[in-house]
Structure 1
Amino acid sequence: MQTTTLGNTGTQVSKLALGCMLMGTATSEADSVEMLHRYVDGAGGSFLDTADCYAWWSRPESQGGESEELLGRWFAQTGRRDEIFLATKGTALPRDLPGLWSNPQEPDWAKARQQFAGASRAALTSALEASLRRLGTDYVDLYYVHVDDLATPLEETLETLAGFVTAGKVKHLGWSNVRTWRLESIRQLCDRYGWPAPVAVQQQHSYLRPRPGSESASIVGYDQLDYLQRHAQTLVAYSPILKGVYDVPEKRTTSHVMTEYAGPDTDARFAAVEKIAAEVGATPNQVVLAWLLRQDLVTLIGPRTLPQYDSAVPAVGPSLTDAQVAYLDAA
């Protein structure tokens, strides 16, 4: 397993991280445990990613936290907590979960986004303590603000996070679903008050590039890539294969993820990745993952099934020549 340095910390982390969002809900306990063993023992990985809200939307009676609880059971059974670089997140668990299920088949996402717990001192403190309890540990290696909270004073959030680090409950801090201007405000406040700054930023990032005019706060833009490099913040790229649109052409016209990507630039990139996939005898998804693993970032996969996991992990080792990478870059 390749590694990269986390921000400016000197800590080495796996370049391919395993997202545990669906573990304990859409992915059964047995398959989740098998996937963890394949990742840690088979692939040599050590970076596990979860959140306190995973996965409240799986069923009306869920309170969230199923993924953390499953990992906590796995740590207790295996004693492997100290072998793992463990990341979790707070702020995105809605406050009134029962009230989001007027339709028992699908929660009201618009309403949920209005009820996120947020990044106040009280909300963050409660969220972290609950996460540590579910995970069965007294610290996490990386703690993210999951969804940026513009309603809470940034100073309150940053001072609270600094307290977590001082108390030894969190080693490193991160942010997710955040705009570049907010990262700069965070950086300046941390410099001013001597608070620990984020060393990782988790955003949606793939081989496709967002269309001109995209206003998503969750997708990495060109300015943000440059900003993260200049300020030694590691990008953790989630949704790297965009729900499988590279392997399944039909999804390119039906999947909601394409809203922020559709256009001639995207068409050219689909053609390029399909050409390279044919050359190397891999799937387009695998080529995209291999291309990302050539970058100085962490690629986060979140398979639901063991076959999905097994199809992703070969991307750790396939050979893309420099010429092939240059071809993909230029498309």
Structure 2
Amino acid sequence: MKYRTIGTAPNTRREVSVLALGAMLFGSRTDEETSFAVLDRYVEAGGTFIDTSDNYAFWEDGGQGGQSEELLGRWRRSRGVGDGIVIATKLGARPLAPGTGYVDNAEGLSAKVIRESAERSRDRLGVAKLDLLYAHIEDQRVPLKETVEGFAELVAEGTVGLLGVSNHAMWRVERARALAAAAGLPGYEVLQYAHSHLRPRLDVPDGLFPDGSLGHAGPDLLGYLRAEPGLALVAYSPLLKGAYTHPDRLPADFDHPGTPARLKVLHEVARETGATVNQVVLAWQIGAELPILPLVGASSVAQLEESLAAVDLELTADQRARLDAAH
């Protein structure tokens, strides 16, 4: 396994494995036995960075979520997992009532919600401190100042370590970080957005975010990452939910002239390296100039093994240049 440091403050920064494991469906669609087996193998391979959310997976049972955090709590207790494993979670997108969703009925990012939701997450996970806590989605009903101060209070109290942000417009991320800096408060240091080798059209709604761009690491976000070297990008959906091996799963917003060109190069590099296309995508992210940590899901140990093998796949400078240039 390879590792990378996320965060900048000496008392909150953490060293984590470059490959993060997503626990979205653990405890719901992925049963407990399988979930435990995947988690055990990930840790055995040196993995130390697990990702969840307080609303996972509300859509599976029409509830409000919490199954993933609860399963991780049971796994931690049964395995005696300590501080060496970093568990990141999120808040803000938990539905307020069973049978509703986060699009029009999310809990939001008020100071009250931040405090109460973080406490519930700690209880479900069985931890005294959340290693990394994200603002999951935007809440334009609440002043950014209130959100910034709400997160900072938890850091000051020692119940949260690093702060992160996901699925926000970059101008709101920058404004929140500027407010925190001006007040001498901790701000967002980890960004979590969708990112893969194939690129979607940003002018086409993707079904989750009406403007078609908030959830994707587009040019603005990558440029911001270059300008702010203390930040890191946790890239969710790096394998596009299996679309690289099942083209019929490719979302409609990836249907544009750039996709065939990028797929062509991916397959060329896969043949040259003897790796799978999925492994090439992950290796391209892990070895990038920018600090990108792919976040992979796995519903079986076999799926996880394919992703783990990508950590040791070294692309040549020529292969990386061709992958970067394809459009």
Query: TM over 0.5, yes or no?
Result: yes
CA distance in 2, matches of 1:212, 1:221: 8
Aligned partner of residue 89 in structure 2, secondary structure: strand
Residue identity matched to 1:317: D
Larger mean Cα displacement after TM superposition, 155-164 or 240-249: 240-249
Letter in 1 for 2:53: A
What is the CA–CA distance in structure 2 between the aligned matches of 1:212 and 1:238, rounded to whole Å?
Answer: 17
Aligned equivalent of 2:260:
267
Secondary structure, counterpart of 1:141 in structure 2: strand
2-side partners of 1:250 and 1:86: how far apart?
33
CA distance in 2, matches of 1:187, 1:66: 31
Aligned to 1:108: none
Residue 18 (structure 2) pairs with residue 15 (structure 1): yes
CA distance in 1, matches of 2:203, 2:24: 30
Residue 30 (structure 1) shift: 0.8
1:240 and 1:170 map into 2 onto residues whose CA distance is: 27
Higher deviation after alignment, 302-311 or 202-211: 302-311
Q: What do residues 55-96 of structure 1 show as CA deviations (whole Å, max 9, x unaligned)?
A: 111113x44111111111111112213111111110111012
Deviates more, 1:208-217 or 1:289-298: 208-217
Instruction: Tell which deviates more after alignment, 44-53 or 203-212.
Output: 203-212
Aligned to 1:193: 183
Q: 2:224 aligns with which of 222, 227, 245?
A: 227
| Residue pair 2:203, 2:213 contacting (<8 A) in 1 also | no
1:290-309 deviations in Å (ceiling 9; x for gaps): 11111221110011222222
Cross-structure match for 2:305: 310
Q: What does residue 276 of structure 1 align with?
A: 269
Per-residue deviation, 1:235:
0.5
Match of 1:182 among 172, 178, 201: 172
Q: How many residue pairs end up in the alignment?
A: 313
The correspondence of residues 231-270 of structure 1 with structure 2, limited to 5 A, is 231=228, 232-252=230-250, 258-270=251-263
The whole-number CA distance in structure 2 between the counterparts of 1:119 and 1:222 is 26
Measure, in 2, the Cα distance between the counterparts of 1:212 and 1:143: 27
**Counterpart of 2:233 in 1: which secondary structure?**
strand
Q: Structure 1 residue 164 and structure 2 residue 154: aligned?
A: yes
1:228: how far off? 1.9
- How far residue 212 of structure 1 moved from its aligned partner, in angstroms, is 5.6
Structure 2, unaligned stretches of length 5 or more? 205-211
- The question of whether the paired residues in 2 share the 8 Å contact of 1:14 and 1:45 is answered with yes
Instruction: Measure, in 2, the Cα distance between the counterparts of 1:302 and 1:249.
Output: 18
Identity in percent: 42
SS in 1 for 2:113: helix
CA contact (8 A) 1:289 1:315 kept: yes
SS of residue in 2 equivalent to 1:290 = helix
Partner of residue 37 from structure 2, selected from 19, 28, 34: 34
Unaligned runs of 5+ in 1: 101-110, 253-257
- The 8 Å contact of residues 173 and 197 in structure 1, kept in 2 or not, is answered as yes
Structure 1 equivalent of residue 207 of structure 2 = none
Q: In angstroms, what is the RMSD of aligned CA positions? A: 1.5
Residue 278 of structure 2 corresponds to residue 285 of structure 1: yes
> Could you tell me which residue of structure 2 aligns to residue 107 of structure 1?
none
Output the TM-score relative to the length of structure 1: 0.91
Match among 136, 150, 153 for residue 140 of structure 2:
150
The corresponding residue for 1:255 is none
Whether the 8 Å contact between 1:49 and 1:86 is mirrored in structure 2 is yes
CA contact (8 A) 2:20 2:294 kept: yes
1:77 aligns with 2:78: yes
- Is the CA contact 1:247–1:283 (under 8 Å) kept in the aligned structure 2? no
